[in-house]
Amino acid sequence: MNGQPLPRVIIVGGGFAGLAAAKALEGAPVAVTLLDRRNHHVFQPLLYQVATASLSPADICAPIRTILRKQRNCEVVLAEVVGVDVAEKKLTLDGRYVRYDWLVLAAGATHAYFGHDEWAAVAPGLKSIEDATELRRRILLAFETAEYEGSPEARRAALTFGIVGAGPTGVELAGAIKEIAGETIPEDYRHIDTRTTRVILFEAGARILAAYPPELSARAQRDLERMGVEVRLGSTVTNVTRQGIHIGEEFISVRNVFWAAGVEASPLGKSLGVPLDRSGRVVVAPDLTIPGHPEVFVTGDLAAATSSDTGLPVPGVAQGGIQMGRYAGRAIAGAVTGRSENRKPFVYRDKGSMAIIGKAKAVAVIGRFKTAGFLAWLIWGGIHIAFLIGFRNRLQVLLSWFWSWLLNARDARLITGEAGLEIQVPRSDDFTPQ
């Protein structure tokens, strides 16, 4: 080249949005650096299957480095970004800093407790691989605890699961826990009938899967109820303790609570000094940049974006992140090559949405086409396999699914972690097995 250093593009986050931005910059005359505090990309739509012991963590993850290894203008750095200085065009990383010419922020979101952070220890959420293995540990330990509880009340409490929030994650968790208890493990225990496990799905709104058409919400609820899941609508959780869940005056004894209710954007948004929405997301312009900084793009779950054709908010799903990230990457590539001075505003193309309820049960909306049941389940499986990164991951996941479907087996039933054995079994002083 002419000795001029290439414009430096920094991408923060290796989720769907960050990866799409990096790939859209392939071949562009820029030096791309993708920063992430994890070495791996997580395929979040299948995270609940790790939490429910169907898949292993590595099945739905891929090292970010390896995904981008062929892209010679891109490097990957394992580092946590703690602040952005948009005036100086630099990022702070643990005392050090990195300068940029173009920035794509795609740092994502985590679960939020509406100001009740003390609920986090009692009611873990599901956003990372570590969250998933923690949920798996708690689900599996619940049955171990129940097996050796002395009193019927304690046994009943141990076998009761509460899930807060009936979006796709809550619905998927509820269905999967009921399937484990009802089909996978009953024969493994001698003192309890795991088929009596109660799974209660709490939803503050008037219906489950609120982002879906009402008839699919109704269908999904009917399917869940047929599987034995108790669906409680209009139930705003007012407190969560180790004993159970409070819904206003009412108290429900639940030993295992999982949180699938609120999300909160990465705190990185705050350091931009621009308006945020209620969930901490950055309110972006139609070209996904922030006011006064056409070189700073915010994408994915960190952005409160609207689609400029419909004026509707872009949903917090994989496709939203992918399309925003790709848009940002292309806008930068266009700008550095002088191809497009006037950017077209961002338009979100809804490619459909789907949620799984259980074996051969799902709901799907693709444009005007709505379906539920077996067909939706097949579509769901096909699309998720197709979008998984890594050919080997696809094969492994297909094999795991085939196995689960054939034998009701869930073979990733590992309780791991040094604090693995917190339960107190057996309870009686002189324990008499059998």
Contact yes or no for 308/346 (Cβ under 8 A): yes
Contact yes or no for 355/171 (Cβ under 8 A): yes
In the region spanning residues 356 to 385, those forming contacts with its own copies, defined by CB under 8 A, are none
Stretch that binds its own copies, among 129-137, 242-250, 289-297, 308-316 (CB under 8 A): 129-137
Buried b or exposed e, range 46-67, using 16+ CB within 10 angstroms:
bbbbbbbbbbbbebbbbbbbeb
Q: Site for its own copies (CB under 8 A): which residue of 1, 87, 88, 94?
A: 94
Q: Site for its own copies (CB under 8 A): which residue of 246, 396, 401, 408?
A: 396
Q: Site for its own copies (CB under 8 A): which residue of 206, 312, 375, 421?
A: 421
In whole angstroms, how close is the CB of 412 to its own copies at the nearest point? Answer: 4
In the region spanning residues 187 to 216, those forming contacts with its own copies, defined by CB under 8 A, are 187-191
What are the Cα distances from residue 137, in Å, to 133, 229, 279? Answer: 6, 21, 29
What are the Cα distances from residue 85, in Å, to 82, 103, 265, 270, 282? Answer: 10, 11, 18, 11, 15
Angle at 247 between CA 363 and CA 139, to 5 degrees: 60
120 interacts with its own copies by CB under 8 A: no
Q: Give the helix/strand (H/E) hosting 41.
A: strand 40-42
The contact pattern for its own copies, residues 254-293, with x = CB under 8 A and - = no contact, is ----------------------------------------
CA–CA gap between residue 39 and residue 253 (Å, rounded): 40
2 interacts with its own copies by CB under 8 A: no
In whole angstroms, how close is the CB of 98 to its own copies at the nearest point? Answer: 5
Stretch that binds its own copies, among 20-28, 158-166, 227-235, 413-421 (CB under 8 A): 413-421
Nearer Cβ to its own copies (97/251):
97
114 interacts with its own copies by CB under 8 A: no
Contact yes or no for 54/400 (Cβ under 8 A): yes
Stretch that binds its own copies, among 240-248, 307-315, 326-334, 418-426 (CB under 8 A): 418-426
In whole angstroms, how close is the CB of 103 to its own copies at the nearest point? Answer: 14
Total binding residues for its own copies by CB under 8 A?
A: 74
Q: Site for its own copies (CB under 8 A): which residue of 39, 196, 239, 408?
A: 39
In the region spanning residues 133 to 162, those forming contacts with its own copies, defined by CB under 8 A, are 133, 140, 144, 147-148
CA–CA gap between residue 430 and residue 385 (Å, rounded): 51
Nearer Cβ to its own copies (184/323):
184
CA–CA gap between residue 358 and residue 380 (Å, rounded): 11
In whole angstroms, how close is the CB of 168 to its own copies at the nearest point? Answer: 24
In whole angstroms, how close is the CB of 352 to its own copies at the nearest point? Answer: 29
Nearer Cβ to its own copies (150/213):
150
- Gyration radius (Cα) of the chain, Å: 23
In whole angstroms, how close is the CB of 341 to its own copies at the nearest point? Answer: 27
CA–CA gap between residue 365 and residue 355 (Å, rounded): 9
Q: Establish whether 130 is a catalytic residue.
A: no
Contact yes or no for 202/237 (Cβ under 8 A): yes
Q: Site for its own copies (CB under 8 A): which residue of 7, 56, 154, 247?
A: 56
Catalytic residue of the set 134, 147, 149, 172: 172
Tokens found for residue 389? 């990164």
Nearer Cβ to its own copies (291/420):
420
Where in 330-405 does DSSP place strands (E)? 353-358, 361-366, 369-372
CA–CA gap between residue 45 and residue 43 (Å, rounded): 6
Alpha helices in 245-352 (DSSP H): 318-336
Nearer Cβ to its own copies (44/217):
44
Name residue 108's amino acid: G
In whole angstroms, how close is the CB of 398 to its own copies at the nearest point? Answer: 10
38 interacts with its own copies by CB under 8 A: yes
- Say if residue 70 is exposed, middle or buried (CB neighbours under 10 Å; 0-12, 13-18, 19+): exposed
Query: At 35, phi and psi to the nearest 5?
Result: -105, 135
In the region spanning residues 163 to 192, those forming contacts with its own copies, defined by CB under 8 A, are 185, 187-191
Nearer Cβ to its own copies (59/301):
59
Active site residues: 172
